[in-house]
Amino acid sequence: MRKWRSLPSLLFGCGSAALLSCCSGYSNLAAPVAASPLRAGPMLCDLTATSVRIWAEATAPVQYRLQVRVADEDGIWQDAMEGSARSLLALNGPGFRGVARITGLRPASRYAYRLVDFRGRWLPDVHGQFFQTAPVDGTAKDFTVAFGSCAGESGLDPSQPIFAAIDALQPDLFLWLGDNTYFTAPHREWEQPELMEQRWSSARAISSLQPLLAHTPQYATWDDHDYGSNDSDSTFPLRAESKRLFEEYWPNPAAGLSSTDGIFFQFTWGRVEFFFLDTRYGRSPNDAVDGPQKVLLSAGQWQWLEQGLQNSHADFKVVVSSTQVLSTYHRFETWNMFPQQRARLLDLIQQKKVSGVFFLSGDRHIGEALRELRPGSYPLVEFTSSPLAAKLGEAQPDAAVPQRIAHTLATVENFGMLHFHFPAPGAADFSTGPVLSFRLHDVYGHPLGSQVVLRLSALQP
Ligand SMILES: [Fe+2]
């Protein structure tokens, strides 16, 4: 678990005009601006061992240059550079939002960052503007990941306090698994790009969310309600507009491929690789007749996933799907509505002998952990978290759901926590090998139900 609590004092402690003046080459510096013109953010995204991207949305046209400093060395603020150019966060286009990249960072290192305007004034750091770069790919380093889905205004508390609870547990990453906001029905928001944009903008500006955005890298896929209408698929008429908006609000490491449209992407953190699926853009209608032509993923996305899983050198391969992959016990959307696609995915893992795979999902408006025993395969496990802040769904007891790992059902608003542990040589638990543990937490951050522990050694073909 990382320890950030000492950072805010460092951040505020160095805010002297004299220090910035002598360090940055700007002589006409006064003080931090009194009030931030940001509507939402800054938000961290697309974190690697040597770079990070920072997103923000303003209330009026404005432009900032990004500055960083090494957090633990009481270093000087330096202009962040991308290539040979200063890293500019330009919020002066449509919607007054944008993203900029900071490059040239050291792996596994802590940095503070700030936004400086054209007069040399920096925005006050209200939420804790710091980050830790990822380790070099393949490095065995413990880390924690929080994840969730379904965040809207229909939950118990419209202020969505769950984000403060997530932030308090200090995850290294936060994953959004879909229905990250809801295009709502009274105005059929999914039929008008301006309304979809307004919905994203208001969802992103929730005050309880801002600290998590400021110092925890965010990664997201979508589900039906933040893509289009209920159960929407590739026939959704505004899918291109919706994708454009999604990319503007979620600067993920990639969005599909040049040859295949969609928002799917992958990234690696140490010895774990994440595969974020797009289960909407290329999807056939749920009620289509099953067969080879009824797809959940487009042909290009299948090829990308198959090659990615087979070529991965990561210990754990985390397949992230908006809707549940393994569940076969209820009437709501799952991969089980696409039997051939479900079989193709599970067969891929088995027949290509891909080790270390497990699934994350959301959508269900309950939380649970599922397990499927397949002859000739290692047990497949899925962790589902939903909702972050939305109405609760129907829940069946463990006795009615043989697939569920006992005592993992959550019937309150919740988020999931994953702890990846890689015992060091010589450690008492070294012989155990890498271990993943999972647990759901409620809006107060309290753990719910049973913890599930998965040893990498149990996820071998
Ligand atoms: Fe939902």
DSSP letter at 203? H
Picking from 61, 146, 33, the residue whose alpha carbon sits closest to that of residue 440 is 146
Residue 176 alpha carbon to ligand 1 centre in Å: 12
CA distances (Å), 433 to each of 138, 248, 459, in order?
Answer: 15, 40, 12
Q: Determine the topology of domain 7-131 in CATH.
A: Immunoglobulin-like (2.60.40)
Distance separating alpha carbons of residues 196 and 177, to the nearest angstrom: 18
Residue 225 alpha carbon to ligand 1 centre in Å: 7
Q: What is the mean pLDDT of the chain?
A: 92
Tell me if residue 432 falls in helix, strand or coil: helix
Distance separating alpha carbons of residues 309 and 332, to the nearest angstrom: 27
Residue 142 is predicted with a pLDDT of 98
CA distances (Å), 445 to each of 20, 151, 209, 388, 439, in order?
Answer: 38, 16, 15, 12, 11
Residue 237 alpha carbon to ligand 1 centre in Å: 21
Residue 317 alpha carbon to ligand 1 centre in Å: 25
Distance separating alpha carbons of residues 168 and 162, to the nearest angstrom: 10
Residue 98 alpha carbon to ligand 1 centre in Å: 27
- Choices 3.60.21.70, 3.40.50.620, 3.40.140.10, 3.50.50.60: CATH for 143-458: 3.60.21.70
Residue 71 is predicted with a pLDDT of 87
Residue 23 is predicted with a pLDDT of 34
Tell me if residue 442 falls in helix, strand or coil: coil
- The b-or-e profile of 72-93 (16+ CB within 10 A means b, else e) is eeeeebebbbbeeeebebebee
Residue 245 alpha carbon to ligand 1 centre in Å: 19
Q: Using an 8 Å Cβ cutoff, are 172 and 216 in contact?
A: yes
Please give the model's pTM, rounded to 2 decimal places: 0.93
Distance separating alpha carbons of residues 461 and 459, to the nearest angstrom: 7
DSSP letter at 342? H
Residue 182 alpha carbon to ligand 1 centre in Å: 8
Q: Which tokens sit at 256?
A: 């599909």
Residue 1 is predicted with a pLDDT of 40
Residue 17 is predicted with a pLDDT of 28
Distance separating alpha carbons of residues 337 and 342, to the nearest angstrom: 8
Q: Using an 8 Å Cβ cutoff, are 33 and 123 in contact?
A: yes
Residue 348 alpha carbon to ligand 1 centre in Å: 28
Verify cis geometry, omega within 30 degrees of 0, for the bond prior to 124.
Answer: no
List pLDDT tens digits, range 30-68. 455 656 799 999 999 999 999 999 999 999 999 999 999
List pLDDT tens digits, range 295-352. 999 999 999 999 999 999 999 999 999 999 999 999 999 999 999 999 999 999 999 9
Q: Which tokens sit at 219?
A: 């990664």
Residue 72 is predicted with a pLDDT of 74
Residue 2 is predicted with a pLDDT of 46
Distance of CA 239 to the CA centre of its chain: 21
Residue 42 alpha carbon to ligand 1 centre in Å: 26
Q: What pLDDT tens digit does each residue of the chain (461 aa) get?
A: 444 433 333 333 333 222 232 333 333 344 556 567 999 999 999 999 999 999 999 999 999 999 999 987 777 899 998 877 889 999 999 899 999 999 999 999 999 999 999 899 999 999 999 999 999 999 999 999 999 999 999 899 999 999 999 999 999 999 999 999 999 999 999 999 999 999 999 999 999 999 999 999 999 999 999 999 999 999 999 999 999 999 999 999 999 999 999 999 999 999 999 999 999 999 999 999 999 999 999 999 999 999 999 999 999 999 999 999 999 999 999 999 999 999 999 999 999 999 999 999 999 999 999 999 999 999 999 999 999 999 999 899 999 999 999 999 999 999 999 999 999 999 999 999 999 999 999 999 999 999 999 999 999 99
Residue 321 alpha carbon to ligand 1 centre in Å: 13
- What are the structural domain ranges in the chain? 7-131, 143-458
Picking from 84, 110, 83, 115, the residue whose alpha carbon sits closest to that of residue 99 is 115
Residue 19 is predicted with a pLDDT of 28
Q: Which tokens sit at 38?
A: 């940001």
Residue 446 is predicted with a pLDDT of 98
Residue 353 alpha carbon to ligand 1 centre in Å: 33
Alpha helices in 285-354 (DSSP H): 299-311, 339-351
Distinct helix (H) and strand (E) counts, the chain: 8, 22
Q: Using an 8 Å Cβ cutoff, are 41 and 57 in contact?
A: yes
For residue 209, how many other CB atoms are within 10 A of its CB?
A: 26
Distance separating alpha carbons of residues 443 and 163, to the nearest angstrom: 8
Q: Using an 8 Å Cβ cutoff, are 218 and 202 in contact?
A: no
